Amino acid sequence: MKAILVSAPMKFDLVECPHPKCGPGQVLIRTAFCGICGTDLEILRGSISPRFTRYPLVPGHEWTGVVVEVGREVEDCAVGDRVSVEGYLNCGACYHCKAGETNLCESHEQIGFTHNGGFGEYVVAPAKSCHRIPEHISLDEALLVEPASTVVRGIQRASPKPGFTAAVIGCGPIGQIAIRVLNLYEPSAVLAMDLSELQHSLATRAGATAFVSSLDISDLLRKSGTEARDVVVDCAGGSKAIGTALRIVKRGGNVVAIGGAPEQDRVSFPANLFVTKDVRIDGVFGYTTQSWIHTLDLLTSGKLRLADLITHRLPLDEFSRAINLLQSRTEPLGKVIVTYE
């Protein structure tokens, strides 16, 4: 089969690999679509902690496909099933797994990080991790369940009340999803913030009521008229973004931190800030099985639509071009996906 193999940081090629074989409890899935995430860029660069990734690796954790083979002891999957697949290969036995915190499993193994993923034509996955996709949902839209389930979980934890005000920092795919999810809770205003003016139209399409191409507080005040927001979702990551979030959140408000940052990045703020502002910050490390199921339900019911988030589709043999698109950011970008159909 064809696959993008990252042999070491900064070294990747389109190669021919042996077909993977499925064992007991596993299924073999022919990949239909795979999204490229900012985390995939970090895997290519080698900037992710060795705790979470191993080389050589076929990355790709946002993907969908069709089951073509089932292993022994598989009862809930059949050949021909259209599926989205949770990436966490959780043990099911540790404290976190038993508590439903499948994202925090003590033995961190994950498709696309420590096991070969969706940038290969075929992927082996546990049958228990597969979720059937209804026929009226396209396989390309369904790949967005993976990033959306993280966003859904994070915003749920903030418990927004109708009429609340929100801000989203960073308007890449995660930020655009966050704007859409926030709108499910009936906000009175959603401010979108991104350093690139190119993202303005996509943020507006997602449901933002205002846009600022800056993280500068004075600029924010001048253009949006207020600095206090009930819920601030940081989808950009890094010290400046989280610092801005803490500045613009209302007293008694919530910050939801989704965007990752380099290990060496540090934040400096007054030690008394959390007390004086009575603010809560929720760090979000991925999704759980329950948030995945909930997100797929939102998609199935039509409450959450994600298809138009996809702005670029390229075949696997144009993977390098897709990466250049994401790195250059010279045009409005939603989700860039690799296609196999």
**Domains of the chain, residue spans:** 2-144+306-339, 156-283
52/110 Cα distance (integer angstroms): 8
SS3 for 51? coil
User: Is it the case that residue 221 has pLDDT exceeding 90?
Assistant: no
pLDDT, residue 96, reads 94
Ramachandran region, residue 80 (left: φ > 0; alpha: ψ -120 to 50; beta: rest) = left
125/86 Cα distance (integer angstroms): 9
Average pLDDT over residues 6-14: 91
User: Is it the case that residue 41 has pLDDT exceeding 70?
Assistant: yes
DSSP letter string, 131-143: EEPPTTS-HHHHT
pLDDT, residue 26, reads 97
Give, in degrees to the nearest 5, the angle at Cα 116 between 322 and 21: 130
pLDDT band at 222 (very low <50, low <70, confident <90, very high): low
pLDDT, residue 51, reads 83
pLDDT band at 215 (very low <50, low <70, confident <90, very high): low
- Same fold across 2-144+306-339 and 156-283: no
User: Is it the case that residue 225 has pLDDT exceeding 90?
Assistant: no
Domain range 156-283, CATH architecture: 3-Layer(aba) Sandwich (3.40)
Give, in degrees to the nearest 5, the angle at Cα 61 between 60 and 62: 100
Does residue 127 contact residue 74 with C-beta atoms inside 8 Å? yes
DSSP code, position 56: S
CATH classification of 2-144+306-339 is 3.90.180.10, yes or no? yes
Query: How many CA atoms lie within 13 Å of 244's alpha carbon, on the beta-carbon side?
Result: 26
Among residues 313, 334, 332, the alpha carbon closest in space to that of 322 is found at 313
Among residues 326, 327, 267, the alpha carbon closest in space to that of 335 is found at 326
Per-residue pLDDT reduced to its tens digit, 143-158: 999 999 999 999 999 9
